[in-house]
A and B are shown apart, each in its own frame.
Chain A
Amino acid sequence: AQKVTQAQTEISVVEKEDVTLDCVYETRDTTYYLFWYKQPPSGELVFLIRRNSFDEQNEISGRYSWNFQKSTSSFNFTITASQVVDSAVYFCALSRMDSNYQLIWGAGTKLIIKP
């Protein structure tokens, strides 16, 4: 079965702390793509990153970094020195080659950054 698990339903940290959001996936495909999206309280989903299955390099973008490990089927997301504006629901998603454009979405992790 193809599946994305975000086991952390909600995380609450104090501003400036580092926080890691976990994403574990299952797929039979050898070629696949993983995504992270952010959904702030205003509602729109914002694309953060795409990673394909052949590229295991970690990625850093400012305070955001992503750790992709095929050995553990994980694609974790770390925010360094968190800020209140990082408060949002974060979704991890997996593309399905057999699905005709449907993504498999994790349940989302609600991140609360307290001032």
Chain B
Amino acid sequence: DAMVIQNPRYQVTQFGKPVTLSCSQTLNHNVMYWYQQKSSQAPKLLFHYYDKDFNNEADTPDNFQSRRPNTSFCFLDIRSPGLGDAAMYLCATSLESAGYSNQPQHFGDGTRLSIL
């Protein structure tokens, strides 16, 4: 009964070839997050959705886009992956109402992206 599901678990793409990572949730949480995590580092927030409102972090490259077609699904699109984009991508959800993150985030298992 996984609650935040990420597909695929491993993704290999070629340099410059667009790739989409997906995330779905059964928790009905209003906030969904995408994080990038490189080896031996903390997760780095790329963007989040509060319901349908998209919020991009200031230092997220333009190469990264996201879509949230409904409450349950969220996608991360990398338009032209470079070697530096190889990382673990983590999707998370939370149920928030305070205007800032004060609730636990529930994470998926992550998608490990490799760039050839």
- A residues in contact (CB < 8 Å) with B: 33, 35, 37, 42-47, 50, 52, 91, 95-103, 105-108, 110
Contacts and interface: CB of A to CB of B under 8 A. Distances in A.
A43 B100 contact: no
Contacts of A91: 42-43
Interface residues of B, number: 28
Given A35-B104, A97-B100, A43 B43 contact: no
Contacts of B101: 33, 95-96, 99, 101-103
Residue of A43, A50, A102, A107 most packed against chain B (CB within 10 A): A43
A43 B109 contact: yes
A43 B9 CA distance: 10
A100 B45 CA distance: 11
A45 B41 CA distance: 13
Contacts, number: 67
B113 interface: no
**Would you list the 8 A-B pairs with minimal beta carbon distance, nearest first?**
A105-B42, A45-B107, A47-B104, A101-B101, A44-B109, A33-B102, A43-B110, A97-B100
Nearest to A6: B42
Contacts of B75: none
B45 A43 contact: no
A95 B102 contact: yes
Given A101-B31, A106-B42, A108-B42, A45 B90 contact: yes
Nearest to A108: B42
A44 B107 contact: yes
Contacts of A96: 100-101
B92 A45 contact: yes
B100 A95 contact: yes
A53 to B, nearest CB: 10
B45 A102 contact: yes
B48 interface: yes
Nearest to B112: A43
10 contacts: A37-B107, A45-B107, A47-B104, A50-B102, A95-B102, A99-B101, A101-B45, A101-B48, A107-B42, A108-B42
Interface string B82-108: 000000101010001001111111111
